[in-house]
Amino acid sequence: MFDATFGGALLQGFIAFFSPCVLPMVPFYFSYMAGISMSELQNDDSIAPGAARRLVISALFFALGVTTIFILLGMGATAAGQSVRIWKTELTYAAAAIIFVFGLHFLGVLRVPFLYREAKFESKGDPSTIVGAYVMGLAFGFGWSACVGPMLASILFIASMKETVMEGGLLLMTFGLAMTSPFVLASFFAKPFLRWMSRNRKYLAYVEKVMGAMLILFAILMVTNTLNVIANFMIEMFPWFQSIG
């Protein structure tokens, strides 16, 4: 049965990749993973076949590392939520209020100082190797930026209300795959993607506004208990959604 929260996680994860705190980091990760300098990555020459292969493989295992951390966080959030199930209604309102504040933060209506703080975990592995790239992904999963943090937190709140640990893990896997899939896809077309980034950098601020509006809408749907109404509407319009979630 389709669960609207999975659609929300998918959309939020995808938008998170294009946030002002994540997208600008992509060229540095590509350079690091391919083992070439930024000037080599940004010039008009093609990437050497060996470096291009390293980049794609490293990007894939980096994405798996990030998603692994998100799955574990989702499972942990659900397990914790089950222990306070009797306060489900109160927790729903509390989660909605926090998500609403996050939305106002992105829209620039107010600024929450702690959202600018970032946890950093250094990885000493070689990112051009499978293990090194995976460990680097694990480190990034722990050290998410201020832009990803609020969206991730909102999904974790939803995961805490899921009935089973498996559902919580799947919800965060959806978020993680949606956030990292564009990264993996871009690694196949690194130079065209970086040129596209350079041309469209000015639009990043609008992405932040979209994120804020999405979080506020999601909070309202939670408080009004209309997530299921939207899910049923989508099932009627697109029957194949029943196989999701």
**CA 151, CA 67: separation in Å to the nearest integer?**
15
The amino acid present at 170, given as its one-letter code, is L
Question: Looking only at Cα atoms, what is the longest distance across the chain?
Answer: 61
Which residues are CB-contacts of 12 (< 8 A; sequence separation ≥ 6)? 151, 154, 155, 175, 178, 211, 214
**Residue 243, both tokens:** 């196989």
Q: Quick one: pLDDT band at residue 230, thresholds 50, 70, 90?
A: low
Total domains in the chain come to 1
pTM here? 0.78
Residue 95 CA to residue 217 CA, distance in Å, equals: 13
Residues 184-215: tens digit of each pLDDT? 999 999 888 888 888 887 777 788 788 888 88
Q: What is the pLDDT of residues 110-168, one digit of tens each?
A: 776 555 554 444 555 566 678 888 888 888 877 655 557 777 877 887 788 788 899 88
Q: Is the model more confident about 15 or about 85?
A: 15
Instruction: Name the DSSP letter for residue 86.
Output: G
Q: pLDDT of 103-121, one tens digit each?
A: 887 788 877 655 555 444 4
Task: Show the domain range for 93.
Answer: 4-243
The C-alpha atoms of residue 235 and residue 1 are separated, in whole angstroms, by: 9
Question: pLDDT band at 2, cuts 50/70/90?
Answer: very low
Answer whether 101's CB lies under 8 Å from 110's CB: yes
